[in-house]
Amino acid sequence: MLDIIKEPWPWYVAGPLIGLTVPILLILGNKSFGISSSLRHICAACIPGNINFFKYDWKRESWNLFFVLGIFFGGVISAHFLVNPGEIVVNPKLKAELAGYGITDYSNIVPIQLMNFKSLLTLKGFLTMVVGGFLVGFGTRYAGGCTSGHAIMGLSNLQWPSLVATICFMIGGFFVANVVLPIILSL
C-alpha cells in the first residue's frame, strides 16, 4: 500500500482532487481556498493591538489555520515515512543545463547545492532564498492572494482579478525561470 503512495499521482487524479476542493469548501461552509491569508490570521491572533489590518474576527477563519497545519504535518509525515529512496527524475536536457551551474545532486526535492544554510551566506543563496522569498511574499500580498487562492479558487469563480493575477504569476514565473535564475545561478 505504501508503494502506491510513494509514487507521484498522475495529473488526471491529482488535478480533479484539487479541483473538487473548491466546490466542497463552497458547499460545506462558503469558504475560500487559499493559503497566504493564513499568515494574516496568525498575525491577528498573535498581535493584538492597534493595527487596522489585523482588526477583524480571525476566529471565523480559524478553519484555515487547521488546513495549513494539516499541510505542514502532511509534509512532515511524508518527508519521514513516504520518502522515495530513488533519485528525483529530471529531464536530461535540464540536468545538463543545471550541471553547468554546479547542480548535480537530485537526492532531494530541492537542489542541496543551492538550498542549505551554508549557501545562505553566499550571494547566490541570499538572492534565491531571502530576496526571492521576500518577493514572493510581497507579490502575494500585493496581488491579494497566492497562486492557490487566485488560480484555483478565483478562476473557478470567474473572478477577473484572479485571471489577471494568474497571468501575471505565470509571466513572472517564466521570466524568472528563463532569465533571472540563470543569471543568479551563474554567479
Is residue 35 within 8 Å of residue 149, measured between CB atoms?
yes
Q: How many CA atoms lie within 13 A of 39 on its CB side?
A: 9
Among 10-24, 40-54, 83-97, 117-131, top mean pLDDT goes to 117-131
Stretch 117-140: mean pLDDT:
88
Task: Spell out the domain ranges in the chain.
Answer: 1-83, 114-187
> How many angstroms separate the Cα of 107 from the Cα of each of 8, 25, 84, 90, 103?
16, 36, 9, 11, 11
> What's the grid cell of residue 169?
504569476
**How is residue 129 written as a grid cell?**
532564498
H helical segments located in 35-157: 37-46, 62-81, 92-99, 117-120, 123-125, 132-143, 147, 155-156
Instruction: Report the pLDDT averaged over residues 28-36.
Output: 80
Q: Is 32 left (phi over 0), alpha (psi -120 to 50) or beta?
A: beta
Burial (CB count within 10 angstroms: exposed 0-12, middle 13-18, buried 19+), residue 39 = middle
Question: What are the pLDDT digits (tens) for 134-179?
Answer: 988 888 888 888 887 888 888 888 889 989 999 999 999 999 999 9
